[in-house]
Amino acid sequence: MKTIVLRPDQPFDLDLTLSCGQAFRWERAGGWWQGVADGRAVRIRQDGSLLTFEGADEGFIRDYFRLDQDLPAVLASIDRDPAIGAAIRECRGLRLVRQDPWECLASYLCATNTNIPAVKRRVALMAERYGRAIDGPFSGTYTFPEPEALAGVSRTELWDCKLGYRTDYVCEAARFASEEPGWAKRIAALPFEEARRELMHLRGIGPKAADCVLLFAFGFFEAFPVDVWIRRIVGEIYLPGLTGKGCTPAEYERIRRFSRDHFGEYAGYAQEYLYCARGPARRAGAP
DNA sequence: CCCCAGGTGAATA
DNA sequence: TATTCACATGGG
């Protein structure tokens, strides 16, 4: 069992970070969080400024939870109006984790027109059927399958992971990633808009999924994913002229351009704070 | 039986 | 370019 003592000037809230819906492979178990990240089965809990964990070393935990990112500075930079100010006060300590690009891409391919529990179920099914079993502090854990592993799986088998009409998209993405092992490094080196266009060439990856992958895996903090909740929130608070229902490509552009301009280079953090403060995760029952 | 959920691709005008 | 529609699945 290892520990990290958090610096008092660097807030971190493990519960908010793992329950806000950015990553799909963590579960609460008693006072602990259990999950698989980058092939490690990790168990971790927070008691005030003390983080206790096993299954990974301190370097990995710091890197994954971005504990060395200057969060107060980030939050100060996006704190541009009373609404985001309230969200920041409510969710201070929420950090964007550093996800694996392939797992993140595949996960958000599974996240269209559905809900978070269903996405978790799909990802878990793919992992336990086609991932590698890992020994760790708890049982029944599997790595998320490599692209090669999923590329070798038949459509019928993937369909059985409850992917539905997304099955072909995951197959194609797995083929893409296995044929170009350096894809993630190549995209990470591109300017944001180019990286975005590149991801959107994949079938099943539209603006929303691309922005999620860019934000959660590649650390493009200017990415501002616009899902149904964010559309509502931004529509209510900042852009009261929005048509309301369907998010047309033009509307999506308008919302993300506004948000990037309004919140600045860490707009993605603003997105996550707005989502967390007013989104379903909190209403659905967090304390 | 209807509507909704971290949308997207394809057909249509 | 802008609208419209289907899409698997599960839960309310």
Positions of strand C less than 7 angstroms from a protein CB: 1-5, 7-11
**SS3 of residue A152 by DSSP:** coil
Instruction: State the Cα–Cα distance between residues A270 and A252, nearest whole angstrom.
Output: 16
The pLDDT of residue A283 is 45
Which of A7-11, A111-115, A280-284 has the lowest average pLDDT? A280-284
Confirm if A267 and A278 have CB atoms less than 8 A apart.
no
Confirm if A106 and A173 have CB atoms less than 8 A apart.
yes
| CB-strand contact A113/C, under 7 Å | yes
Looking at residue A190, the DSSP 8-state letter turns out to be S
Name the band, by pLDDT with cuts 50, 70 and 90, for residue A39.
Answer: very high
Q: Residue closest to C2, CA→C1'?
A: A248
Instruction: State the Cα–Cα distance between residues A95 and A15, nearest whole angstrom.
Output: 10
Name the band, by pLDDT with cuts 50, 70 and 90, for residue A242.
Answer: confident
| CB-strand contact A254/C, under 7 Å | no
| CB-strand contact A18/B, under 7 Å | no
Phi, psi of A163 (to 5 degrees): -80, -20
Query: Residue A267 has which token pair?
Result: 């707009």
Nucleotide nearest A271, from its CA to each C1': B6
Instruction: State the Cα–Cα distance between residues A245 and A243, nearest whole angstrom.
Output: 6
Confirm if A184 and A102 have CB atoms less than 8 A apart.
yes
Q: At what angle do helices A249-263 and A267-278 cross, to 10 degrees?
A: 110
Calculate mean pLDDT across residues A218-232.
95
| CB-strand contact A115/B, under 7 Å | yes
Assess whether pLDDT exceeds 70 at residue A83. yes
Give how far Cα A95 sits from Cα of A28, A112, A188, A210, A236, Å: 17, 24, 20, 20, 25
Helix and strand tally (H, E) in chain A?
16, 5
A117-172 pLDDT, tens digit per residue, is 999 999 999 999 999 999 877 877 999 999 999 999 999 999 999 999 999 999 99
Assess whether pLDDT exceeds 60 at residue A72. yes
Instruction: State the Cα–Cα distance between residues A149 and A254, nearest whole angstrom.
Output: 39
Assess whether pLDDT exceeds 60 at residue A265. yes
Residues facing A162 on adjacent strands: none
Positions of strand B less than 7 angstroms from a protein CB: 4-10
A164-219 pLDDT, tens digit per residue, is 999 999 999 999 999 999 999 999 999 999 999 999 999 999 999 999 999 999 99
pTM of the model: 0.96
A192-207 pLDDT, tens digit per residue, is 999 999 999 999 999 9
Mean pLDDT of chain A: 94
Confirm if A59 and A40 have CB atoms less than 8 A apart.
no
Å separating the CA of residue A107 from the C1' of nucleotide C11: 21
Residue A149 Ramachandran class (φ > 0 left, ψ -120 to 50 alpha, else beta):
alpha
Calculate mean pLDDT across residues A217-233.
95
Burial class (CB in 10 A: 0-12, 13-18, 19+), A7: exposed
A54-67 pLDDT, tens digit per residue, is 999 999 999 999 99
Cα torsion A136, A138, A144, A150: sign: positive
The pLDDT of residue A139 is 77
Query: Residue A135 has which token pair?
Result: 């020994």
Cα torsion A274, A275, A281, A284: sign: positive
